[in-house]
Amino acid sequence: MELEIFEAFRAAGVPDDKARGVVVAISDLIDRRYALHADQLATRGDVASGRAELERVTGELTASIAGLRGELTASIAGLRGELTASIASVRTEIAEAKSELIRWSVGSIFASVGMFAAITRLLAH
């Protein structure tokens, strides 16, 4: 690029020493301008490195999510088992309470009939 600028100045009639001075000054300005922004510019290597890091992190996250999914599935299965056992226990307790309620109801009915019969006999004499 410097040679093209130098040739353009020579073609415009600028003496060689002045053309060379202007080309050097322009080159220095471009270098300084580039140096100011060099830290903010990403090279292809920087982009490739960033892409590789992103792929690595994505792989780690995918593996971590898969592990968490497995743990969650196992935890849900365990809770399902506990819930099934609890439901069975409650059903057993309900059946026992029902049986006991029927026993007491039948006993109460027989006791009531017996008391009614006794009262009827007492009143009949």
Q: What is the pLDDT of residues 15-48, one digit of tens each?
A: 888 888 888 888 888 888 777 677 777 789 989 9
Are the CB atoms for 46 and 38 separated by under 8 Å? no
* H/E element, 87: helix 44-124
Q: Please give the Cα distance from 65 to 48 (Å, whole number).
A: 25
Are the CB atoms for 1 and 10 separated by under 8 Å? no
The pLDDT-based confidence of 107 (bands split at 50, 70, 90) is very high
Whole-structure pTM over 0.85, yes or no? no
* Residue that wins the pLDDT comparison between 97 and 16: 97
What percent of the chain shows pLDDT beyond 90?
60
